[in-house]
Each structure stands twice: as structure tokens, then as C-alpha cells.
Amino acid sequence: AQSVAQPEDQVNVAEGNPLTVKCTYSVSGNPYLFWYVQYPNRGLQFLLKYITGDNLVKGSYGFEAEFNKSQTSFHLKKPSALVSDSALYFCAVRDSSGGSARQLTFGSGTQLTVLP
Amino acid sequence: DGGITQSPKYLFRKEGQNVTLSCEQNLNHDAMYWYRQDPGQGLRLIYYSQIVNDFQKGDIAEGYSVSREKKESFPLTVTSAQKNPTAFYLCASRRAMVNEQFFGPGTRLTVL
């Protein structure tokens, strides 16, 4: 079984400050990890993924995420937050041995608010 | 949202009625998925399909049905057996041998 935890329902940060949105996971094999962003009443947009290789992954809109196998974490980060980054962020995981269906398990989401 | 369309954007249904949500993609993706989103619960998988004329139940399939007669289309029917159908429904698709899924804009269903 695979699972994802996003321990913070809400994260507030001032514009220009660094932001971090936390994600921890549990899988039986090697993890494939993803971050998505959702704006109000819209679908999810893919931000970045970790499959293998460098633990620091860079994605869209200046976001990056760090894979930490010992802590089973995949936190989303951005050096300088923008008001337009305010949205709902989802972490997702699948087990690399999960079969061809490649089903994702999503966290419950973290609402990020960037204050001007 | 590019390449995946969902219609309608908003849908209202009376209790006891079946309703069908449309999902179409022009990305030539093989796999398609339906998710339900409720506040504070993230996304839950309803059904998925890897090829035409084949589909599998996800975690919360009860009260829902799907078909996959064409590669481009994966409609979801919410039946009267679904006890709490009010939610935001998201369709996604994925190209073969690629891990990430791409999402449509969603349909918000409200049961009156």
C-alpha cells in the first residue's frame, strides 16, 4: 500500500520570503513522487516529479523539491514567494513496482497563501 | 488544462437522477482516470482505463459507471446509487510509459 501525508492544511508566507510545503510518503518499494498545483475551480497542473537521480528536482514556475529517502520526504520549496503562488498544492506518490496502471495516491492538499 | 476538456463546468442534478460527465482528450494518451475531490480529502480514484474497451474500478467506484469506446473519450455516469454525489470531478490522462498524469478543468456536480 502507498500513502502520502501533507501535515499542514494551511501555510502562510510573506511575499519575497522562501516557502516550504511539506510532504512525507510511504511505499513498499522505490517511490515516484509528484507535486501538482490547483487554482480555484480548476484542474491540477503538474509542477515537478522525482523518479530517480539527483535528489533536488527543479520544476515549473521556479519551484523545486528535495527528495530525502531516509526521512521519506519530498518537500516543495521556492526561494522567493509570489502572491500569484497562492493556491492548493498536492503531493502524490506511486510505488515504482505498482504495475502498468501507474496509479497515484494523493495527499489531502496544503493551501498556500502568500501575503503581500 | 490543455488537451483535456470536461463538460459541463457546472452541473445540477435532482436526487434519484443519473447524470453523465464528459471527458475528452486530444493528446493521444492511452490511459484515462476519473477522480473525485472533496474539501480536505484530496483526490480519490473512481475508475481508470488503460486501453479502449477496458477499465478497472478505483477506490470509490460504488455508484459510478464508465465506458471507454474511443481512445479520446472516457465518460463518467453518476448513478442514483451514489449516496453523496455532490463533489468536484476531475478527469486525467497519461501517455504510455510516462508517469505523470495531466488533468482536465473539472466538473462541479451539485445534487439539489
Per-residue model confidence as pLDDT tens digits over A9-34: 999 999 999 999 999 999 988 899 99
Chain A CB contacts of B100 below 8 Å: 34, 46, 49
B103/A45 Cβ within 8 A: yes
Which pLDDT band, with edges at 50, 70 and 90, does B57 fall under?
very high
What are the φ/ψ torsions at residue A30 (nearest 5 degrees)? Answer: -80, 140
Chain A CB contacts of B1 below 8 Å: 42-43, 45
- CB–CB of A76/A60 below 8 Å? no
- CB–CB of A47/A33 below 8 Å? no
Half-sphere exposure of A66 (CA within 13 A, CB side): 9
The mean-pLDDT minimum among A71-75, B14-18, B77-81, B94-98 falls in B94-98
B42/A44 Cβ within 8 A: no
pLDDT of B40 reads: 79
